[in-house]
Protein backbone atom coordinates (compact mmCIF):
# COMPACT_ATOMS: atom_id res chain seq x y z
CA UNK A 1 0.00 0.00 0.00
CA UNK A 2 1.33 3.44 -0.91
CA UNK A 3 2.44 5.75 1.92
CA UNK A 4 -0.21 8.36 1.16
CA UNK A 5 -2.94 5.80 1.98
CA UNK A 6 -1.43 5.25 5.43
CA UNK A 7 -1.51 9.00 5.98
CA UNK A 8 -5.12 9.25 4.78
CA UNK A 9 -6.26 6.39 7.01
CA UNK A 10 -4.58 8.06 10.00
CA UNK A 11 -6.28 11.36 9.10
CA UNK A 12 -9.67 9.62 8.88
CA UNK A 13 -9.16 7.99 12.29
CA UNK A 14 -8.20 11.33 13.83
CA UNK A 15 -11.22 12.96 12.21
CA UNK A 16 -13.46 10.28 13.71
CA UNK A 17 -11.90 10.82 17.13
CA UNK A 18 -12.49 14.56 16.74
CA UNK A 19 -16.18 13.93 16.14
CA UNK A 20 -16.29 12.21 19.52
CA UNK A 21 -14.47 14.98 21.42
CA UNK A 22 -15.47 18.22 19.66
CA UNK A 23 -12.34 20.13 20.71
CA UNK A 24 -10.97 21.14 17.27
CA UNK A 25 -7.48 20.09 18.35
CA UNK A 26 -7.74 16.66 16.73
CA UNK A 27 -9.21 18.33 13.67
CA UNK A 28 -6.05 20.42 13.44
CA UNK A 29 -3.87 17.32 13.75
CA UNK A 30 -6.02 15.46 11.19
CA UNK A 31 -5.52 18.33 8.74
CA UNK A 32 -1.76 18.17 9.33
CA UNK A 33 -1.79 14.41 8.70
CA UNK A 34 -3.69 15.09 5.46
CA UNK A 35 -0.87 17.46 4.51
CA UNK A 36 1.49 14.53 5.14
CA UNK A 37 -0.62 12.48 2.70
CA UNK A 38 -0.28 15.20 0.06
CA UNK A 39 3.47 15.29 0.58
CA UNK A 40 3.67 11.49 0.25
CA UNK A 41 1.58 11.61 -2.92
CA UNK A 42 3.89 14.31 -4.29
CA UNK A 43 6.91 12.04 -3.72
CA UNK A 44 8.60 13.73 -0.75
CA UNK A 45 10.88 11.55 1.37
CA UNK A 46 9.54 10.00 4.59
CA UNK A 47 11.55 12.33 6.91
CA UNK A 48 10.27 15.34 4.94
CA UNK A 49 6.69 14.07 5.22
CA UNK A 50 6.92 13.63 8.99
CA UNK A 51 8.84 16.87 9.51
CA UNK A 52 6.50 19.07 7.50
CA UNK A 53 3.40 17.35 8.90
CA UNK A 54 4.71 17.99 12.43
CA UNK A 55 5.33 21.68 11.71
CA UNK A 56 1.85 22.02 10.21
CA UNK A 57 0.34 20.17 13.20
CA UNK A 58 1.99 22.55 15.68
CA UNK A 59 0.84 25.57 13.68
CA UNK A 60 -2.74 24.28 13.31
CA UNK A 61 -3.03 23.32 17.00
CA UNK A 62 -1.71 26.77 17.99
CA UNK A 63 -4.28 28.37 15.68
CA UNK A 64 -7.08 26.14 17.07
CA UNK A 65 -6.15 27.10 20.62
CA UNK A 66 -6.14 30.81 19.79
CA UNK A 67 -9.48 30.47 17.98
CA UNK A 68 -10.99 28.60 20.95
CA UNK A 69 -9.92 31.35 23.36
CA UNK A 70 -11.21 34.07 21.03
CA UNK A 71 -14.60 32.34 20.85
CA UNK A 72 -14.93 32.44 24.64
CA UNK A 73 -14.43 28.71 25.06
CA UNK A 74 -11.70 29.18 27.67
CA UNK A 75 -11.29 27.07 30.74
CA UNK A 76 -13.39 29.27 33.01
CA UNK A 77 -15.69 27.16 35.15
CA UNK A 78 -19.41 27.47 34.70
CA UNK A 79 -21.19 29.42 37.44
CA UNK A 80 -22.71 27.27 40.15
CA UNK A 81 -26.49 26.79 39.92
CA UNK A 82 -26.53 27.11 43.73
CA UNK A 83 -25.60 30.81 43.66
CA UNK A 84 -28.54 32.94 44.76
CA UNK A 85 -30.38 30.14 46.55
CA UNK A 86 -31.62 30.82 50.10
CA UNK A 87 -30.17 28.84 53.01
CA UNK A 88 -31.08 28.24 56.65
CA UNK A 89 -28.34 28.67 59.24
CA UNK A 90 -28.52 26.00 61.95
CA UNK A 91 -25.69 27.28 64.17
CA UNK A 92 -22.69 29.61 64.21
CA UNK A 93 -19.27 28.57 65.50
CA UNK A 94 -16.99 31.60 65.35
CA UNK A 95 -16.89 32.74 61.74
CA UNK A 96 -18.25 29.44 60.38
CA UNK A 97 -21.87 28.37 60.15
CA UNK A 98 -23.62 25.05 59.75
CA UNK A 99 -26.07 25.65 56.92
CA UNK A 100 -29.04 23.51 55.90
CA UNK A 101 -29.27 23.38 52.13
CA UNK A 102 -30.63 20.71 49.78
CA UNK A 103 -31.43 18.31 52.58
CA UNK A 104 -27.99 18.24 54.21
CA UNK A 105 -25.69 20.38 56.36
CA UNK A 106 -22.93 22.42 54.78
CA UNK A 107 -20.17 24.64 56.13
CA UNK A 108 -20.68 28.30 55.39
CA UNK A 109 -19.04 31.65 55.96
CA UNK A 110 -20.03 35.24 55.31
CA UNK A 111 -18.75 36.84 52.12
CA UNK A 112 -17.57 39.88 54.10
CA UNK A 113 -17.51 40.95 57.75
CA UNK A 114 -20.14 43.62 56.99
CA UNK A 115 -22.79 40.99 56.25
CA UNK A 116 -25.40 40.58 58.97
CA UNK A 117 -25.99 37.16 60.52
CA UNK A 118 -29.55 38.15 61.46
CA UNK A 119 -30.95 38.70 57.96
CA UNK A 120 -31.90 35.95 55.51
CA UNK A 121 -28.80 34.55 53.82
CA UNK A 122 -28.22 33.49 50.23
CA UNK A 123 -25.39 31.64 48.53
CA UNK A 124 -22.95 34.09 46.93
CA UNK A 125 -20.38 31.49 45.80
CA UNK A 126 -19.36 27.88 46.29
CA UNK A 127 -15.74 26.99 47.12
CA UNK A 128 -15.51 23.22 47.21
CA UNK A 129 -17.93 22.20 49.96
CA UNK A 130 -17.97 25.66 51.57
CA UNK A 131 -20.88 28.00 50.90
CA UNK A 132 -20.05 31.71 50.84
CA UNK A 133 -23.07 33.57 52.19
CA UNK A 134 -24.49 37.06 51.62
CA UNK A 135 -27.53 39.10 52.67
CA UNK A 136 -28.18 40.28 49.12
CA UNK A 137 -31.10 38.47 47.56
CA UNK A 138 -30.69 37.50 43.92
CA UNK A 139 -32.16 40.04 41.52
CA UNK A 140 -35.17 38.98 39.49
CA UNK A 141 -34.29 38.46 35.84
10 and 63 part of one domain: yes
46-83 in b/e form (b: 16+ CB < 10 A) is eeebeebbeebbeebbeebeeeeeeeeeeeeeeeeebe
What's this model's pTM, rounded to 2 decimal places? 0.52
Residue 141 pLDDT > 60: no
Average pLDDT, the chain: 88
66 and 91 part of one domain: no
59 and 104 part of one domain: no
Helix, strand or coil, per DSSP, at residue 49? helix
Q: Write down the pLDDT at residue 17.
A: 92
Asked if residue 125 belongs to a domain, the reply is yes
Q: Write down the pLDDT at residue 117.
A: 81
Asked if residue 81 belongs to a domain, the reply is no
Provide the CB-side half-sphere exposure for 1 (13 A, CA).
7
9 and 60 part of one domain: yes
pLDDT of 41-99, one tens digit each?
999 999 999 999 999 999 999 998 898 888 876 566 667 788 889 999 999 888 899 99
97 and 63 part of one domain: no
Domain residues for the domain of 104 are: 86-134
92 and 121 part of one domain: yes
Asked if residue 77 belongs to a domain, the reply is no
7 and 34 part of one domain: yes
Give the Å distances, CA to CA, from 63 to 60, 79, 82, 107. Answer: 5, 28, 36, 44
Average pLDDT over residues 28-39: 94
The count of structural domains within the chain is: 2
9 and 49 part of one domain: yes
Asked if residue 122 belongs to a domain, the reply is yes
Instruction: Indicate the residue among 70, 105, 124 that finishes a domain.
Output: 70
Amino acid sequence: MAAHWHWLIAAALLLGAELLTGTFYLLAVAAAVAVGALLAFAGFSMPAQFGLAAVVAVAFVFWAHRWRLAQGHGDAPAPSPDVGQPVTVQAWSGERARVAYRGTLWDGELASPEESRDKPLYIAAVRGSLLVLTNRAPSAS
